Amino acid sequence: MGFRSMTVRIDEMTRTAEPPRWWWWAAIIAVTIMLMLLPSYLKISQINGISKLFPLGLLAVSMGFMWGFAGMLSFGQTSFFGLGGYIYAVLSLYSGETSWPLIAAILLPMLFALLLGYFMIYGRISDIYFSVVTLVVTLILEKAIRSTSGDQYTVLGVRLNGQNGIPTVPSLQLPVEFKTELHAIFYLAAGVLVLVYVGLRLLLTTKFGRALAGIRENPRRMELLGYDVRRYRLGVFVLCSGIAALAGVLRAVWGNYVGPQMFDLNQAGQVVIWVIVGGRTTLLGPIVGAGGVQYLAAWLGTQAVGQISLILGLVLMLVVLVFSQGLLPSLGIAFAYARDHLILRRKI
């Protein structure tokens, strides 16, 4: 009972069906300005470390949005993350250009999602099989890529290199000049993340977004009301796959490298963990979860503690047991509690 009313409290705070208030826009502008200024105060290695987190945050959002707002648990957003990276790598190495390969690297994975999603969603497989199939697909892609180590495995003249991945992936050619290439990646990835975040937040206020919430709550009722639930589910799956693919391109550009580990179980599992830790019922949660967990892992790496996975596992267990909603929603609950019991009481 206690947990149920806590869930309700956080819902009360988010009000996603309504357009964002002025303070939300103010916060977005403040964060944007902060991100623009940030690189001047950081060392190159720090810029590099933070730039790496943006694509991962984007990947987490693409999974968390589907799970938290449409009730679809995809265990394999890494399929589209990896495909986006690989398609961009191959096409840009083949053509020497970067703009149309970027677009193709988003659209082709979306097309694949449309096909895969059509069979899963229109075939009305149950929720658990949706998770299983998406996981299996990403593992199949991983195995397929890993087995392409010979000379004979080339696409458009680009060697796939199996386990070793493709190095020398070209950076995006941008119309604006930046101080260094690292600055360019930082601004690009941060900008994309903010735009996607704002876009998804606004999407939640549209008929499509509000219908998704209805489908999450009670799909059968939505069908009785006349909504074609399958079309909405397929739509959100394709959209989020596009976001994951974009994240894959950014990841490829960041390290000038793509490899089969973009698809693997470790990566796929991490996305789910980020979203659980950060909290799937908010849009910001997955981003914070991805950044926080990755940062923690990197920091543990420098502390010579050894068993990083073990410690991360303990952190995950702690979060699931203590903050069952994830960190951000729990913070929201604490905030609402403080507001109601400390501040308001004093006023009365």
Minimum Å gap between C-beta 232 and another protein is: 12
CB of 23 to another protein, least distance (A): 19
List, in order, residues 6 or more apart from 263 with CB less than 8 Å away: 78, 79, 81, 82, 138, 139, 141, 142, 145
Nearer to another protein, 224 or 304 (CB): 224
Measured between alpha carbons, how far is 232 from 311 in angstroms, rounded to an integer?
39
Q: Which residue number, 17 or 34, has a Cβ lying nearer to another protein?
A: 17
Q: What is the CA radius of gyration of the chain?
A: 21
Report the length, in residues, of the chain. 348
Residue ranges that bind another protein, judged by CB under 8 A: 4-5, 7-8, 11-12, 17, 207, 210-211, 213-214, 216-218, 220-227
Give whichever of 43 and 220 is closer to another protein, judged by the CB atom.
220
Q: Give me the least distance between CB of 86 and another protein, in Å please.
A: 38
Nearer to another protein, 36 or 344 (CB): 344
Scanning the chain, the segments in alpha helix (DSSP H) are: 2-14, 22-37, 44-70, 77-95, 99-117, 127-146, 181-203, 207-217, 219-224, 229-255, 265-278, 284-302, 308-322, 327-338, 344-347
55 versus 329: smaller Cβ distance to another protein: 329
Q: Minimum CB separation from another protein for residue 283, in Å? A: 16
Least separation in angstroms between CB 206 and another protein: 9
Measure Cα distances from 293 to 50, 137, 228, 297 in Å.
13, 25, 38, 6
Task: Give Cα 35 distance to the centre of its chain.
Answer: 19
Q: 78, 84, 59, 112: which is closest to 263 by C-alpha?
A: 78
Closest approach, Cβ 17 to another protein, in A, equals 5
149 vs 205 by CB, closer to another protein? 205
